[in-house]
Amino acid sequence: MSLRVATDKDTGVAVVILDRPDRLNAIDLALRDELVGAWRELRFDDTVRAVVLTGAGERAFCTGLDRAAVVPQPGSPYMMDDPLLRAGPKANDLWKPVVAAVQGMACGGAFYLLGEADFLVADPSATFFDPHTSYGMVSAYESMLMALRMPYGEAARMALMGSAERMSARRAHEIGLVSEVTEPGGALAAAVDRAAVIAGYPAAGVQGTVRALWAAKEAALAHAFAQAPHLITLGNSPADRQAELFAARRAGGYRVR
């Protein structure tokens, strides 16, 4: 199992933990399936009224899709399976509030999860970046989600600068991606505390508010997501070229702003 779920019946808060610290909490197909199962189970657990999502270890919240994952694809240019498109809570019809606690790196496919969280709490060590363009890939779904969470210029800069630049927790807070930066090591505790407050309110009103907030942007996402498959098909480099670019990456070859 690569996912842990701990539920506190007294507070009504469930903590969902990506538990692959040796792989920087990258998501393989098994973890994707565990996430889908967890979100669906939480829909039916009325003792859970709020959720915190985090990653195990200090180095990363999540580094997106595990590059070792083998993703089967239909043999047709008109059908493409994105392995992370259904990995988030909203995609699984969970309308309980989700607070993300981010420590360390959050990049690439992590934005499928962060894009569907209701707000983010970050450790000072948190950094945000999107390496797709560096490796010959189109940042489509990730950028579309982030364009609705931060000013367009910031979303564009993060996507286009690729692995050369990382956004600090401080900058993420300045632009509204992160709602709170805690003391070092305090992100999870703060997120649980905020979730416990929310869980103490009447559930129907809270869930209706979550649904209303998401409704304000889901129409734009639906239109954008409809464009993503052919943009990815047209713009992605062949797999061997992507692997070549990934192998040539330099450790520490980035700036943090």
Does 75 have pLDDT greater than 90? Answer: no
Q: What is the pLDDT of residues 151-182, one digit of tens each?
A: 999 999 999 999 999 999 999 999 999 999 99
Question: What CATH number has the domain bearing residue 102?
Answer: 3.90.226.10
What pLDDT, on a 0 to 100 scale, did the predictor assign at position 76? 81
Flag whether 126 is in a domain. yes
Average of per-residue pLDDT values in the chain: 96
Encode pLDDT of 117-147 as tens digits: 999 999 999 999 999 999 999 999 999 999 9
Give domain status of residue 19, yes or no: yes
pTM of the model: 0.95
CA distance 256 to 169: 10
State both tokens at 76.
């047709």
Structural domain includes residue 216: no
- Mean pLDDT of the region 56-81: 88
What does the CA dihedral 60, 62, 54, 253 come to, rounded to 10 degrees? 30
The pLDDT value recorded for residue 160 is: 98
- Torsion over CA: 116, 19, 170, 248 (sign): negative
CA neighbor of 97 nearest in space, from 248, 209, 224, 253: 209
Instruction: Check residue 145 and give its pLDDT.
Output: 97
* Any domain includes 245: no
217 belongs to a structural domain: no
Note the pLDDT tens digit of each residue in 190-219: 999 999 999 999 999 999 999 999 999 999
> Hey, what are 253's tokens?
């070859």
Give phi and psi for 233, each to the nearest 5: -60, -40
Kindly state whether residue 210 falls inside one of the protein's structural domains.
no
> Does 80 have pLDDT greater than 90?
no
- Residue pair 146/159 in contact by the 8 Å Cβ criterion: yes
The tally of domains found in the chain comes to 1
The predicted-structure confidence for 89-98, as pLDDT tens digits, reads as follows 999 999 999 9
Question: How far is residue 214 CA from its own chain's centroid?
Answer: 16
pLDDT at residue 252 tops 90? no
| pLDDT of 61 | 98
Kindly state whether residue 192 falls inside one of the protein's structural domains: no
pLDDT for position 255: 95
Helix intervals (H) in the chain: 29-44, 110-114, 141-147, 152-161, 169-174, 187-199, 203-235, 239-247
**pLDDT of 77 over the 80 cut:** no
Quick one: pLDDT at residue 220?
A: 95
The pLDDT tens digits of the residues spanning 22-55 come to 999 999 999 999 999 999 999 999 999 999 999 9
- C-alpha to C-alpha distance for 239 and 257, rounded to whole angstroms: 31
Tokens read off for 130: 């999107």
Residues of the chain with pLDDT > 70, as a percent, come to: 100
CA atoms of 242 and 219, how far apart (whole Å) = 32
In which domain, by residue range, is 156 found?
Answer: 3-185
- Considering the domain boundaries, does residue 111 fall inside one? yes
pLDDT category of residue 10 using cuts at 50, 70 and 90: very high
